[in-house]
Amino acid sequence: MQKYSGFGLFKHSLTHHENWQRVWRNPTPKKKYDVIIIGGGGHGLATAYYLAKEHGITNVAVLEKGHLGGGNACRNTTIVRSNYLWDESAALYEHSMQLWEGLAQELNYNVMFSQRGVYHTCHTLQDMRSNERLVAANRLQGIDNEMVDAEQLQKEIPSLDCSKNARYPIMGASVQRRAGNARHDAVAWGYARAADALGVDLIQSCEVIDMEISDGKITGVKTKQYGVLKADRVGCVVAGNSGVLAKMAGFELPVESHPLQALVSEPIKPFLDTVVMSNHVHGYMSQSDKGDLVIGAGIDGWVGYGQRGSYGIIEHTIQAIVEMFPCTSRVRMNRQWGGIVDACPDASPIISETPIKNLFFNCGWGTGGFKGTPGSGNLFAHTLADGKPHPIAEPFSIQRFHTGALIDEHGAAGVAH
């Protein structure tokens, strides 16, 4: 792997940047792998990287039906935080957070992880109570999260309307100062490059259309482009398409796929150096380094695979943003798009064995899996290597929907991704 550095940038500028190495190979698939990972999004690529790096399993292929990182990995609004409510989630998201903190160094790839803080505004007494509860829970878990009152909030974010004139006046907010955002594409590309360097085959334009299952055991997958590829173990990490893949394997998941939209504005001068989200008014916003406002809100309430959502949602989202930041009322939107998010009934993910032996699913991250990318990959690699889950991943088994041990994170997830 060619090492990236400031010096390298200078050196290559002398030859007009025409001699950079290809970032990853473009191999033809082998007939048989130790592990096949279906889905080349952030989570799939991270899984491949940690399999090779931490478990020494390098005879691995990632099969991606489109191009690497072209799904939700490149459609999300990049919020990273770890202030969820329950101990199980705290362990999971904090594991991820700590990997984020060293990720750019580890991958030798600038993922632009920026710990600019994430605020959750409170507009009702109930909001205040539930956020105070969250803060208290996080403190006990050793995770930073604190309350600020409206006056302090106004000082920290001058453009946010904290006045009494707002339709839903802000009473206070919780803030995780270690939270923030990162460059989504870079995360997928960084993991892809590092996994490739360790010998993982990244196979693009390779769609899995069926599974080879006999005696309740998976032996490989059938692809549209390369026929059957054999594997000892298969990990499925296809986000919004999890239901489709589960159907191929002959079972159902406690997951429904919904369109989730985002918008970005024209670039404007820097005025917001943090991330603000409101569960109550229902919208969130940050400003990218390019200057565009990155905006999002809720899902469409029905199952949808179209990677586009309803106009009504866009209208509500914009109403919420203008309510919170009246100064943005005349900013024009540049682009809008949708991704398909795989939502679980308890708003927590599934990292799990399945009814089929040697087939494992990592899905259900819903509207908030970008932040989980490093942790998810790290833990799922453990599951694929050992055939049984890492202790942090254990509570996230599909079994919880039968035992009733749900991990209800609707409060902490909310609009907040």
Partner 1 sequence: MLHIYCPHCGEYREEEEFHCAGQAHIARPLEPEACSDQEWGEYLFFRKNPRGLHHELWVHAAGCRKFFNMTRDTQSYEIKEVYKIGEQPSVVAE
Residues engaged in binding partner 1 (CB under 8 A): 241-244, 247, 252-257, 301-306, 310-312, 345, 401-404
Given a contact cutoff of 8 angstroms between Cβ atoms, the answer to whether 384 and 233 are in contact is yes
Q: How far is CA 52 from CA 49, 241, 399, in A?
A: 5, 25, 28
Q: Which amino acid is at 124?
A: T
Cα 348 from Cα 408, distance rounded (Å): 7
Q: Which amino acid is at 380?
A: F
> Which stretch, 82-90, 159-167, 232-240, 265-273, contacts ligand FAD (CB under 6 A)?
232-240
Cα 112 from Cα 176, distance rounded (Å): 18
Name the minimum Å distance from CB 157 to ligand FAD: 18
Residue 29's region, left for phi above 0, alpha for psi from -120 to 50, else beta, is beta
Name the minimum Å distance from CB 286 to ligand FAD: 9
Name the minimum Å distance from CB 88 to ligand FAD: 17
Nearer to ligand FAD, 317 or 328 (CB): 317
Nearer to partner 1, 241 or 287 (CB): 241
Nearer to partner 1, 199 or 254 (CB): 254
**Residue 204: how many CB atoms within 10 A of its CB?**
17
247 binds, among ligand FAD, partner 1, none (CB under 5 to 8 A by kind): partner 1
Name the minimum Å distance from CB 8 to ligand FAD: 28
Q: How far is CA 99 from CA 46, 87, 164, 377, 378, in A?
A: 11, 18, 41, 11, 9
Nearer to partner 1, 248 or 333 (CB): 248
Q: Is 117 in the site for ligand FAD (CB under 6 A)?
A: no
Name the minimum Å distance from CB 45 to partner 1: 23
Nearer to partner 1, 18 or 252 (CB): 252
Q: Is 301 exposed, middle or buried (0-12, 13-18, 19+ CB in 10 A)?
A: exposed
Cα 82 from Cα 164, distance rounded (Å): 31
Name the minimum Å distance from CB 224 to partner 1: 15
Q: Nearest residue to ligand FAD, using CB?
A: 41
Nearer to ligand FAD, 84 or 162 (CB): 84
Write each residue from 36 to 75 as x if it is in contact with ligand FAD (CB under 6 A), else as -, in one continuous string: --xxxxxxx------------------xxxx---xxxx-x
Instruction: Name the one residue in this structure whose structure tokens are 């839903």.
Output: 168
Cα 134 from Cα 139, distance rounded (Å): 9
Q: Is 238 in the site for ligand FAD (CB under 6 A)?
A: yes
Name the minimum Å distance from CB 298 to partner 1: 13
Q: Which amino acid is at 98?
A: Q
Name the minimum Å distance from CB 208 to partner 1: 13
Instruction: Give how far the C-alpha of residue 352 lies from the chain's centroid of Cα atoms, to the nearest Å.
Output: 18
Q: Is 84 in the site for ligand FAD (CB under 6 A)?
A: no
Instruction: Name the one residue in this structure whose structure tokens are 């599934």.
Output: 350
Cα 223 from Cα 214, distance rounded (Å): 17
Instruction: Name the one residue in this structure whose structure tokens are 């309350």.
Output: 147
Binding-site member from 85, 104, 173, 208 for ligand FAD (CB under 6 A): 208
Report the sign of the C-alpha dihedral through residues 116, 120, 122, 128, in that order. Answer: negative
**Residues facing residue 258 across a β-bridge:** 341
Nearer to ligand FAD, 53 or 184 (CB): 184
- What radius of gyration, in Å, describes the C-alpha atoms of the chain? 21
40 binds, among partner 1, ligand FAD, none (CB under 5 to 8 A by kind): ligand FAD
Angle of CA points 178, 272, 263, to nearest 5°:
95
Write each residue from 158 to 197 as x if it is in contact with ligand FAD (CB under 6 A), else as -, in one continuous string: ----------------------------------------
Site residues for ligand FAD per CB under 6 A: 38-44, 63-66, 70-73, 75-79, 207-208, 237-241, 260-262, 296, 339, 341, 365, 367-371, 417
